[in-house]
Structure 1
Amino acid sequence: MTNRLVQAQRLVDNERWGQALTLVEPLAAAIAATDRNRYLFSRRLLALACSQTGRFEEAERYAGEGLVVCPEALDFPFLLAITAARAGKYDEALRFGRQYLDRWPAAANAPSETAPWNLTIDQRHQLLNAYGVALLERGRPEEAENAFREAIALCPGFDSSHINLAQMYAKQGRAEEARAAAAAGLRQTPESIPLRRLAEADRKRPTISVCMIVKDEEILLPRCLRSVQPLADEIIVVDTGSTDRTREIARDFGALVLEFPWQGDFSSARNESIHHATKDWILIIDADEELPAEDLPAIRFSIDQPDIRILSLSVFNKSLETGQVSSFLPSTRLFRRDLNLRYYGIVHNRLNIPPEMSITRCPARVFHYGYDLSADVLEKKKARTRALLEKQLADHPDDLYANFNMAQLLRGFRDADSEEVSRAIMEHAGRVIGNPESKTPRYFGQRLMSLHQMATALYALKRYEEAERYCREALEAKPGYLDPIMTLGHIHLAAGRLNDARTCYLRYLETRASYRAEDETDNVILLYLDGVHVAWYGLGLIAEKERAVAEAIRCYRQALAARAPYLDCYLRLGRLSLDNHDPIAAEAMFRNEAERDERSAWAWFGLGEALSQQGRDDQGVDYFRRAVDLAPDDHQMLFRLGKT
């Protein structure tokens, strides 16, 4: 056995990872932890080989087993941190990286029995490099920069630290510093191709054509054009019949404005704008959208990469008034002009991308304000979209994308929970799910969302078992899909299965905590990207039903911490505080509700009760009178007033 371990170590030294695994893995179970040296030797070897071959979970398991037996060693936290960083588990990389760094000073004086498991004492630069990557991914760029610089100081010939430092500067828009960092790295490692590319970046900067279609967008268009100006080498605006100042505003921003009569087809107008583009890249954006200034360097960095051809950005449907996000989706918005890509579909048009072309996710965001409209304008917009979809479906009744979009549109109607609309949603979602083509990779996102559309429609019809089945099918295909996780919680709560509902809401909170929109690769619209308040509210309802007053109060406060105001949280907290004999806290909650809605009879009534419990009856009576004036026929309120 010892000979095989030694032979495997020689294979590892020569980077023949697969052969080493073939030799040692059959022995792993036979080596007992009581055989300490051979056990630790085998776990370190197996962890390293598994990590190098992409078998991250097994690498973590083997390194973890070694750490349990020898918790003072450096090698196992080193391997755990490096592997976690490679696997994208950045919190774990930071935890084990910190463990390694804290133990490192004492490692030089380690007792002889520990020294064999401190072979990575001279590889602190590698650890710091991985640690820097994890810090950067967790939004701590200053600390990441320090880690990369410390790694470079320890080992100037290790090119990964130079590369990561230069790339970090580039993504932050610090082009001169990026080139300087890359040049400094090249002096140490002149053979590094990535460093050479970074050092030579921006010598010929890729150019961008911003392509838009507009009609009567004078209100939001200036915001959009200001946001794209720093990126744009030309702006092409196709106007389909504006009667306001839209064309004048676009020309003021230097745009080429083309008049194109509306033909009832968004794709023809979109393709007309692309036809007139002359620059290297096409950026598609609408007048009711905006690129955040802090994200422009990420776009510039991405288009500078020679192997990137198509970019998908993260679109957030957002309220201008409140800043709240209602939904999220990845959307292809940038592509090289020489690919000759064009749009198809008369409404909710799609870019016709050949299956063999890869799409790269870019961390840049697009804020979309198109739903932040008056009720009348929004209803007119929905009616226009519905008419176009009906026309498309009349010609192509089995069109997957059109059926999905019709179901999605209907979900946004005021009466979406009515039986008539719910059945219409089910009809169109069912056409997607029942089409065999929906099971192909091309329509993976549409099938997932159609499963959730079906589930929410069945939930509205109180057909809970069927709704649950569709949620579970969606989660089998995509376990981290936030929307069906939340909807399952609602289903269980409505069906009275409180423990199951609690499990789902907690699962949502856990999944959402680790979810990063920029890492989403499936084209799914997320309705519950910002649903933390919804999950906490559901947990509060469960606690109330279980008569766990303190827990219900905690959950509703968490809901308000995530989004305030939200539904009847203030009223519920006020009522629970009264039940908990805390009239001062109750008074604060009822006042918040009264400020939110001065016509809330129960807010004024609650204030009266809270003040009465504090012995302030004279003031309380005034609030009781106001409540009764607002709801003179509320028998429950009159009954409670009589008791009070």
Structure 2
Amino acid sequence: MKLSACMIVKNEEKMLERTLPNLSRYVDEIILVDTGSSDNTAEVAKKFGAKVYHFAWIDDFSAARNESLKYAAGDWILWIDADEFMTEEDLKVLRSTLEVSNFSFHSFTLFESKLGTCEKKNGYQRVKVFRNHLGYRFIRPINEQLVDAQGKVLEGQLIPVCLYHWGQNLEEERMRKKREWYVEQYRRALADNPKDSYYHYLLANKLNELERFEEALNHYQWAVEFASERKIKKEALEKLADLYLRRKRLEEAAEAAQALLNLDSKNIPARNVFASIFLVTGKVDLAMALLVEALQIKVGEGVENLYQMRAMPNFLLGKAYELKGQLAEARACFGRAKEICPEMFGAK
């Protein structure tokens, strides 16, 4: 079995020094398509054995991705970015899984992590590896999606492999400009496809990060309204309920959480929202019952959001115990939450 890693890059010399050492040891080739670097990206990549190709940027991520696929000779293709890191352990699991796999593509769990860390806080699942020569390609000019020969978005069998995205680790002003750039790109895409739920969802996320909350709420609502895919609808409802809660719009938060439970009866983020509402409205026993139930719901090995699935229920249960004066139980819950997400619960 031969594995090709395909990436598109621009001005990533420093990041490649961090992410290519592991990758280069566990893949059979690295295909790197440079879309216009002015630094030493190509030289750094070649140092790690990458095959470097050049492609003029045409404002289309999928076009560049598909260009990289042309040069891949492996049986499997891992598509990955310069700022995405994989541990040696995960790369070993990846190779051993692909050696015996009967599937044509697989999903990983991706986590948004601080530079140089392998934090497992906010995550999501995405098909990141697929068999070569089966007609798979990328579509959408921004936030590209992998589809089959008939244009169907791939949703693959999850394997216990993690990938850590370090791309959010920019200084504040650069991060703000990056988010605003994405906002403009999503607005342009929606001008052509106003009922595209995926772009409404992505735009809402960036507006949320920019603290433009009312705009974000509108686009989450449109994402839910226009969604034909259950996955997009579920994720948009989770974000919508959470944002309503943070804006102290409790009735609307409850409505979104209920819609989420109607869609997914075992949804833990919806239970967190209801428990939070119960806590602030004095219904502590109801909150406790809901949180105990949430913690009893089995989550898979590839759970992508430990913050919502495990840390938050423990933290809220700790607050409930605290309100009832059961301080030893509260400390135990806070301790479990801190163990899962120390950066979020360092005060406890």
How does the TM-score come out when normalised to structure 1? 0.50
Bigger fraction of residues in strand:
2
SS in 2 for 1:397: coil
Name the CA distance, whole Å, in 2 between partners of 1:356 and 1:247. Answer: 32
Query: Could you tell me whether the CA contact under 8 Å between 2:127 and 2:154 is conserved in 1?
Result: no
Structure 1 residues 350-499: aligned runs within 5 Å? 350-353=145-148, 354=150, 355=152, 359-413=156-210, 415=211, 421-435=212-226, 438-439=227-228, 443-499=229-285
How do residues 42-441 of structure 1 correspond to structure 2 at under 5 angstroms? 206-305=1-100, 307-320=102-115, 323-353=118-148, 354=150, 355=152, 359-413=156-210, 415=211, 421-435=212-226, 438-439=227-228
Q: How far apart are residue 475 of structure 1 and its match?
A: 2.4
Shift of 1:562: 4.2
Q: How many Å separate the matches in 1 of 2:300 and 2:255?
A: 27
Per-residue CA deviation, residues 443-498 of structure 1 (Å, 9 max, x unaligned), is 11101011112212322332212211221222232233332232332232233322
Match of 1:145 in 2: none
Preserved contact between residue 319 and residue 325 of structure 1 (Cα < 8 Å): no
Tell me: CA distance 1:350–1:258, structure 2 relative to 1, closer, same or farther (3 Å): same
Instruction: Quote the Cα distance in structure 2 between the aligned partners of 1:459 and 1:210.
Output: 41
Indicate the structure with greater helix content: 1
SS for the counterpart of 1:339 is: coil
Gaps of 5+ in 2: none
Q: 1:139-161 CA deviation, whole Å, 9 max, x = no partner?
A: xxxxxxxxxxxxxxxxxxxxxxx
* 500, 506, 514: which one aligns with 2:292: 506
Contact 2:23 2:86 in 1 (8 A): yes
Closer, same or farther: CA 527–377 of 1 in aligned 2, 3 Å? farther
| Residues in 2 aligned to 1:472 and 1:297: alpha-carbon distance in whole angstroms | 41
Question: In 2, Cα distance between the equivalents of 1:564 and 1:298?
Answer: 27
CA contact 1:215–1:240 (8 Å) conserved in 2: yes
Q: Distance in 2 between matches of 1:454 and 1:260?
A: 39
Q: What does the per-residue CA deviation read over 1:337-391, in whole Å, with 9 as the maximum and x for residues that have no partner?
A: 2112111112111012345977332222212222233223322221221121111
Q: Deviations over 1:420-445 (max 9, x none)?
A: x332122212222222xx34xxx111
Give the match for residue 144 of structure 1. none
Shift in Å at residue 230 of structure 1? 2.9
Tell me if structure 2 keeps the 8 A contact 1:312–1:361: yes
Amino acid at match of 1:296: L
Q: Show the counterpart of 1:586.
A: none
Q: CA deviation at 1:322?
A: 5.5
Q: What is the CA distance between 1:265 and its match in structure 2?
A: 1.8
Distance 1:243 1:231, change over 3 A: same
- Find the counterpart in structure 1 of residue 313 from structure 2: 535
CA RMSD of aligned residues (A): 2.6
Distance 1:286-1:423 versus aligned 2 partners, 3 A rule: same
Q: Which has the higher contact order (CA 8 A, sep 6+)?
A: 2
Between Structure 1 and Structure 2, whose CA radius of gyration is higher?
1
% identity of equivalent residues: 29
- How far did 1:530 drift? 6.5
Gapped regions of structure 1 (runs ≥ 5): 1-205, 416-420, 571-644
| Equivalent AA in structure 1 for residue 305 of structure 2 | L
Change (3 A) 1:283 1:432: same
Match of 2:299 in 1: 515
Does structure 2 retain, via aligned residues, the 8 Å contact 1:540–1:556?
yes
CA deviation vs aligned residue, 1:34-85 (integer Å, no higher than 9, x gap): xxxxxxxxxxxxxxxxxxxxxxxxxxxxxxxxxxxxxxxxxxxxxxxxxxxx
Matches within 5 A, 1:21-40: none
Alignment coverage as a number of residue pairs: 346
Q: CA deviation at 1:232?
A: 2.3
Contact kept? 2:105, 2:157, Cα under 8 Å: yes
- After superposition, the C-alpha distances for 1:607-640 in whole angstroms (9 at most, x for unaligned) are xxxxxxxxxxxxxxxxxxxxxxxxxxxxxxxxxx
Q: Work out whether residues 314 and 517 of structure 1, in 8 Å CA contact, stay in contact via their aligned partners in 2.
A: no
Query: C-alpha displacement at 1:274, in angstroms?
Result: 1.1
- In the alignment, the residues of structure 1 paired with residue 161 and residue 290 of structure 2 have an alpha-carbon distance, to the nearest angstrom, of 31
Deviations 1:164-189 (A, max 9, x none): xxxxxxxxxxxxxxxxxxxxxxxxxx
> Aligned pair in 2 of structure 1 residues 301, 504: CA closer, same or farther (>3 Å)?
same
Q: Assess if the C-alpha contact under 8 Å between 1:342 and 1:351 holds in 2.
A: yes
- One-letter amino acid of the counterpart of residue 455, structure 1: A
